[in-house]
Chains A and B, each alone.
Chain A
Amino acid sequence: MSPQKRVKNVKAQNRTSQGSNSFQTTLSAWKVKQGPSNSKNISKHGQNNPVGDYEHADDQAEDALQMAVEYFEKGPVKTSQNKDKTLEKHLKTVENVAWKNGLASEEIDVLLNIALSGKFGNAVNTRILKCMIPATVISQDSVVKAVSWLCVDKCSGSTKVLFYRWLVAMFDFIDRKEQINLLYGFFFASLQDDALCPYVCHLLYLLTKKENVKPFRVRKLLDLQAKMGMQPHLQALLSLYKFFAPALISVSLPVRKKIYFKNSENLWKMALLAVKQRNRGPSPEPLKLMLGPANVRPLKRKWNSLSIIPVLNSSSYTKECGKKEMSLSDCLNRNGSFPLEQLKSFPQLLQNIHCLELPSQMGSVLNNSLLLHYINCVRDEPVLLRFYYWLSQTLQEECIWYKVNNYEHGKEFTNFLDTIIRAECFLQEGFYSCEAFLYKSLPLWDGLCCRSQFLQLVSWIPFSSFSEVKPLLFDHLAQLFFTSTIYFKCSVLQSLKELLQNWLLWLSMDIHMKPVTNSPLETTLGGSMNSVSKLIHYVGWLSTTAMRLESNSTFLLHFILDFYEKVCDIYINYNLPLVVLFPPGIFYSALLSLDTSILNQLCFIMHRYRKNLTAAKKNELVQKTKSEFNFSSKTYQEFNHYLTSMVGCLWTSKPFGKGIYIDPEILEKTGVTEYKNSLNVIHHPSFLSYAVSFLLQESPEERTVNVSSIQGKKWSWYLDYLFSQGLQGLKLFIRSSVHHSSVPRAEGINYNNQY
């Protein structure tokens, strides 16, 4: 092929970006066969070459790149005097194009071979490898050829290390991996080399399939481990082997360690982001999780659109399915694993659950509800390990406030977090990686970025001892809480309510599965209740302080009372032995609030507290033994105190006597003469408007209304009127807690337990 023709040929391929290897790099290509002056002339005058069928603006850049690639192909020309300058110029060209747009797969093919063949020095090889950034994909043939150079040992050790790091970083961009998998034995043999070992382990971790796990390999790994000690990368590979063939490995592996490999992608991180960005196109809307059989296959995307969550791609889904006939060896080789792209319905999952092979890209599980079911049921440590590892890495890289370099990718990160939250919600449990991510990134969070997603992640933190979680999470959250706007405070309270709900649900499920007294797990029931109780007290403290900071805002009080609406029913709804009252700061703020709905909610909560406390007391009496969860009489005392204050204010018109006690002399000083009625259901500031409208309803033409005229029979009509206006909480409270007799009084709960 004459050089001129070859230039044209390559150009044509660049335009259509085909992935085929029609541009062969034969061994003869870099032997200086054609007259060096001839080819050099053409390369030097490359820019004037009439290749110009294409009048595009980037022709010049392409030409320069072609020149550079050809220069490298020719190998070092020993005679030229300004060798270094030309070399530098061409290297710079390649680097510029690579970092800006990425290199086409043919160019990567050529340059990879050059770098590993040792034609140029170590420094040049390193620079070439560092800029091997693909525009779209890397063909597996180039990788295979490159690996074949490793056998010849022409390049230095450090170049080999860099090559493996590059391979791990670019693993996702290699179009197919069957041939690379065939080289498994070669890679495995490279484990001998101490310098290469960690990176080769990482590569093997990504490549391994069930059929690669052989007894001799297991023995080899164990030998290595005996020689080098407990290395995290060896552990990773062993855990993966154990997953595929648990019978072969009897040595126990540590359970807690979740993160094995150092992030060796650092060199190419920025570039990888750019590649993903390029290939993505418009950022897709987060997909709903597919559940029923009527749905289309989950992800119908072009191969080139790579997003944060990888496309579902089963390792064994071969292209042979299109062929009419398969050879016998193919039939025998198929390990019978079910191709994941065909998994569409739940019955299908159940039928094939024994032969499902999880994709090598664990992250693609996030978008597929069936696979989420699967990993939840399988409960295998290595599967979860791979998943958590991918999740930790991705969260760390993509977080936009933790690593400010990524600030432009805000929308994608938000979508990604949404997907994670949907998956957590679907599985009804939190992921360890998210928890770790929260603890790490919370100190740097500004409170506004991805707020709703972040706070939802907070609500999915798995249950653990409150004292452990407090310094990691709550102290930092409190710092933000006290210095931010009222809306942030309300959002935090809401997410803490959901956190409480999740904890209560898990605990109530747990109780049915293990005996009350001694359990093999870390916490006893008493310990768990203690932790929940501490959480509730903490939120109580946050709420009271927030009320002070926001000057008793009604808006905030709504959220606080929502939280306590959940708390008051713990005993009855979740069957857990816990009753925690709200703090006085909340109770009195609500009682004296100007908003009727607040008062209504307060009445409802008091009614529920009463129900829970009486149920708790009854159960204790019935069981006739003192259980370890003795509700202290202090709780009952406090409740009765609240109840007395409330009834005294609202009903019996004795507001400042037994409940909220204020000295009569002080009351005189206020100058308010008629204070006794001032807080009852007629005169309370929040009810006054109802009283007036009630009277106006009766006699609409009245110019003046005397609310004090509501007495006797009118009083009960007035109450009915109130109930009809939607104040159901008030209704329940009055019916249950106020004793209707000639002398109305509060019905407190008798807390003197007699056994």
Chain B
Amino acid sequence: MMSVLRPLDKLPSLNTATILLVGTEDALLQQLADSMLKEDCASELKVHLAKSLPLPSSVNRPRIDLIVFVVNLHSKYSLQNTEESLRHVDASFFLGKVCFLATGAGQESHCSIHRHTVVKLAHTYQSPLLYCDLEVEGFRATMAQRLVRVLQICAGHVPGVSALNLLSLLRSSEGPSLEDL
């Protein structure tokens, strides 16, 4: 049975917003989840963590409002894992309910994946790309705050703004290369 994630295959729960974090860095994901749950939010937040997709179909889980793929720029395996997992997500998810998060960009010497690769990946899947060095507590807390706000919009809890609407706001044009500066 094809366990592809679809955005609308379940009914939403009352005042609940669910986010799914997919990535190979268990410790970082756990810390990010903790930071998100500490945020002050009118809706009830649920955070699911997964190393990769597809998710086991035996578990009863609520409707997922936002998927965040966490790519560690220091590890080629992380990118591979993400690319594998992307195949198990239905195309309609990419209308604003998917987001990429690249960690480790601040330590250039350790990066084995070029930033441009992830930028291209995000561009191919028409989804926004966020940068955050999740190891640093301060940056992690701010990113958690941002993810909560995005999640609220994706779950439909902000009147007048939809996930697709937010997506069109976040999509930026490809700018000139910085090496020319």
Knowing A446-B139, A548-B160 touch, does A471 contact B173 (C-beta < 8 A)?
Answer: yes
Q: In the complex, which residues of chain A have a beta carbon less than 8 angstroms from the beta carbon of B106? A: 401-405, 444
Give chain A residues whose Cβ lies under 8 Å from the Cβ of B173. 471, 475
Q: Interface code B122-161, partner A: CB below 8 Å = 1, 0 otherwise?
A: 0000001011110110110011011001100100001111
Binds A, one of B21-29, B52-60, B87-95, B164-172: B164-172
B107 touches A405 (CB 8 A): yes
B4 at interface, CB cutoff 8 A: no
Which residues of A come within 8 Å of B, CB atoms? 401-405, 407, 436, 439-440, 443-444, 446-449, 471-472, 475-476, 478-480, 482-485, 545, 548-549, 551
Chain B contributes a number of interface residues (CB within 8 A of A) equal to 34
Q: Is the CB of B176 within 8 A of A471?
A: yes
Leading 9 A-B pairs by shortest Cβ distance: A471-B175, A404-B106, A475-B172, A446-B142, A483-B146, A448-B142, A446-B139, A436-B181, A482-B169
CB of A476 within 8 A of CB of B160, answer: no
Which listed residue, B133, B170, B174, touches A401 by the CB 8 Å rule?
A: B133
6 pairs from A and B in contact (CB 8 Å cutoff): A404-B135, A471-B174, A478-B169, A483-B130, A485-B145, A549-B158
Known contacts A449-B139, A548-B160; A482 and B175 CB within 8 A of each other: no
Bound complex: CA A482 to CA B166 (Å): 8
Check A484–B181 contact: CB distance below 8 A: no
Q: Which of B50-108 contact A (CB under 8 A)?
A: 105-108
B2 within 8 Å of A by Cβ? no
> Are B161's CB and A472's CB within 8 A?
no
Quick check: is B1 within 8 A (CB to CB) of the other chain?
A: no
- What does DSSP make chain A's interface, helix, strand, loop or mixed? helix
Q: Which residues of B contact A439 (CB under 8 A)?
A: 178, 181
> Other CB < 8 Å A-B pairs besides A478-B169, A479-B170, 5 of them?
A436-B181, A472-B176, A476-B172, A478-B170, A478-B172
List, in ascending order, chain A residues with CB within 8 A of B175's CB.
Answer: 471-472, 475
Interface residues of B, Cβ cutoff 8 Å to A? 105-108, 128, 130-133, 135-136, 138-139, 142-143, 145-146, 149-150, 153, 158-161, 166, 169-170, 172-176, 178, 181
B59 CB → nearest A CB, Å? 29
Q: How far is the CA of A696 from the CA of B150 in the complex (A)?
A: 48
A480 and chain B: residue at smallest CB distance: B146
The answer on a CB contact under 8 Å between B170 and A483 is yes
Q: What residue in chain B is nearest A447 (Cβ atoms)?
A: B142
Are A446 and B132 in contact, with the CB atoms below 8 A?
A: yes
Q: Is the CB of A403 within 8 A of B108?
A: yes
A-B contact count (CB 8 A): 78
Docked Cα-Cα span, A328 to B92, in Å, equals 87
The CA-CA distance from A407 to B136 in the complex, in Å, is 8
Q: Which residues of B contact A436 (CB under 8 A)?
A: 181
| Cβ distance A435 to chain B, nearest Cβ, rounded Å | 9
Contacts of B107 in A (CB 8 A): 403-405
Give every chain A residue within 8 A of B159 (Cβ-Cβ). Answer: 551
Give the residue of A403, A443, A478, A549 whose beta carbon is less than 8 angstroms from that of B161: A549
User: How distant is B23 from chain A, measured CB to nearest CB, in Å?
Assistant: 18
In the complex, what distance in Å separates the CA atom of A480 from the CA atom of B181? Answer: 23
Closest CB-CB distance, A479 to chain B, in whole Å? 5
Interface centre among A440, A448, A480 (most CB of B within 10 A): A448
The interface residues of chain B lying within 8 Å CB-to-CB of A482 are 166, 169-170
* Contact between A449 and B138, CB atoms less than 8 A apart: yes
Per the bound structure, the CA–CA distance linking A459 and B160 in Å amounts to: 31
**Which B residues touch A478, using CB under 8 A?**
169-170, 172
Residues of the A chain whose Cβ atoms lie less than 8 Å from the Cβ of B161: 548-549
Q: Which residue of B lies closest to A477 (CB)?
A: B172
B13 → A minimal CB distance (Å): 22
Of A401, A444, A483, A549, most B-chain CB atoms within 10 Å: A483
- A401 to chain B: closest residue by CB: B106
- Nearest B residue to A474, CB-CB: B172
What residues of chain A lie closer than 8 Å to B105, measured between beta carbons? 444
> How far is B172's CA from A478's CA once the two chains are assembled, in angstroms?
9
A448 in contact with B138 (CB, 8 Å): yes
Residues of A within 8 A of B142 (CB): 446-449
Residues of A close to B128: CB separation below 8 A: 479
* Chain A residues within 8 Å of B150, by CB: 483
Q: When chains A and B are docked, how far (Å) is the Cα of A407 from the Cα of B105?
A: 14
Determine the distance from Cα of A301 to Cα of B142 in the docked complex, in whole angstroms: 38
Minimum CB distance partner of B135 in chain A: A404
Shortest A480–chain B CB gap in Å is: 8
**Which residues of A lie under 8 Å from residue B169 when comparing CB positions?**
478, 482, 545
**Nearest chain A residue, comparing its CB with the CB of B104:** A404
The distance in angstroms between the C-alpha atoms of A106 and B176, with both chains bound, is 51
Nearest chain B CB to A592 CB, angstrom units: 15
Q: Report the bound CA distance from A446 to B160 in whole Å.
A: 26
A484 touches B160 (CB 8 A): no
Query: Which B residues are in CB contact (< 8 Å) with A404?
Result: 106-107, 133, 135-136
